[in-house]
Amino acid sequence: MSGTTDTWTTRAAELTGRNVVVVGGSGGVGEGVVRSALAAGATVVATGRDDARLAALAQRMADAGLPGTLHTRLLDAMTPGLDEDVRSLAREFGALDGVVVSVASWGDQGRKPALALDDDEWQRLLDGNLTSVFRLFRAFLPVTAPGGVLVQLNGMSADIPFPGSAGVALSAAATKSLTLTLAAELGGRGPRVVQLVLGVVRTRARQQAGIDDVRWIDATQIGDHVAGLVAGTSALAHTPLQYFTDRAEGPIAGRGLR
Ligand SMILES: NC(=O)c1ccc[n+]([C@@H]2O[C@H](COP(=O)([O-])OP(=O)(O)OC[C@H]3O[C@@H](n4cnc5c(N)ncnc54)[C@H](OP(=O)(O)O)[C@@H]3O)[C@@H](O)[C@H]2O)c1
């Protein structure tokens, strides 16, 4: 990876009048994206599969007194009714200016060598991390505004080995391929499609669990960058492959795909 550095540290993205759906908004990274989009004045729809987690997120955002408006919705990427659920969101909020896919599913098998996974564990990991993303892209792209952007947040296991977590890692590699293929198929017509590969993130949940490192990227720094992608003010607004793996360097374009 190498390329153009972005001015993410100083840009105040303006999202007033725009709507952003954060799929997985109740998750660690998703919360940072929700917070930044609200800070930039957006109407935000944060989704998750658990009512209590969404309610807790809504309470934290209300306590923060941010200018945007937050809505929460239950949404499961694997439900047969996904397409209709997404169309219903579009009827309620209009064409979407930003769709951020921030889903992860670690399964309950724990860390295991790749070939120790049984068939069911393998299938669950692929369903949760690959098929879920495919289904979300297929449902959301038709309701994303032509000038809007669909961003998939991904991890570095898209590019490097991740011993003990093969199902997550190969899904990361596959969803990176899927996102870039989609961007190429669209060829600049219709919404922009962006793959954003992240380094380790400082999330609220991790900090609460006492797992923290000041060198990690804050979830809200990722959110600020994503807000710039939605607003179109980011230098990387039209770059399909991006990395944000180094806090000091900020977001950069992936090699050969600027
Ligand atoms: N955390 C990091 O350090 C880090 C680093 C690099 C990249 N990333 C990337 O950031 C993204 C999010 O990770 P995270 O750490 O924020 O994970 P997380 O805290 O586990 O959150 C995952 C979110 O996805 C939702 N979700 C899971 N499966 C879903 C499904 N089938 N349908 C709909 N929603 C579903 C969860 O909802 P429920 O909780 O309600 O199930 C939750 O809101 C992932 O793509 C990950 O690769 C994270």
Distance (Å, whole) CA 48 – CA 8: 27
Digit-coded pLDDT (tens) for 59-76: 999 999 999 999 999 999
Domain 19-253 has CATH 3.40.50.720: yes
Closest CA to 198 of 109, 100, 116, 97: 100
Q: How many residues are there in the chain?
A: 258
**What residue owns the CA closest to ligand 1's atom 43?**
24
Digit-coded pLDDT (tens) for 162-173: 999 999 999 999
Does ligand 1 have an atom closer than 6 angstroms to the CB of 107? no
Question: So where are the chain's domains?
Answer: 19-253
Residue 162 to residues 35, 152, 168, 197, 206, Cα–Cα distance (Å): 29, 19, 8, 15, 20
pLDDT of residue 255: 79
Mean pLDDT in each 10-residue stretch from start to end of the chain (258 residues)? 41 82 98 96 98 98 96 98 98 98 95 97 98 98 98 97 96 98 95 97 92 94 96 96 95 78
pLDDT of residue 13: 55
Atom in ligand 1 nearest the alpha carbon of residue 54: 40
Please tell me the distance between residue 94's alpha carbon and the centre of ligand 1 in angstroms.
25
Terminal alpha carbon distance of the chain: 11
**Could you please report the per-residue DSSP string of 114-166?**
GGG--HHHHHHHHIIIIIHHHHHHHHHGGGEEEEEEEEEEEEGGGTS--TTBH
Please tell me the distance between residue 213's alpha carbon and the centre of ligand 1 in angstroms.
20
Please tell me the distance between residue 28's alpha carbon and the centre of ligand 1 in angstroms.
7
Please tell me the distance between residue 145's alpha carbon and the centre of ligand 1 in angstroms.
24
Distance (Å, whole) CA 111 – CA 121: 11
DSSP 254: P
Cα angle for residues 46, 48, 50 (degrees, 5° grid): 130
Distance (Å, whole) CA 252 – CA 61: 29
Digit-coded pLDDT (tens) for 190-231: 999 999 999 999 999 899 999 999 999 999 999 999 999 999
Closest CA to 121 of 129, 132, 109: 109
DSSP 112: B
Beta bridge partners of 67: none
Percentage of residues in the chain having pLDDT higher than 90: 91
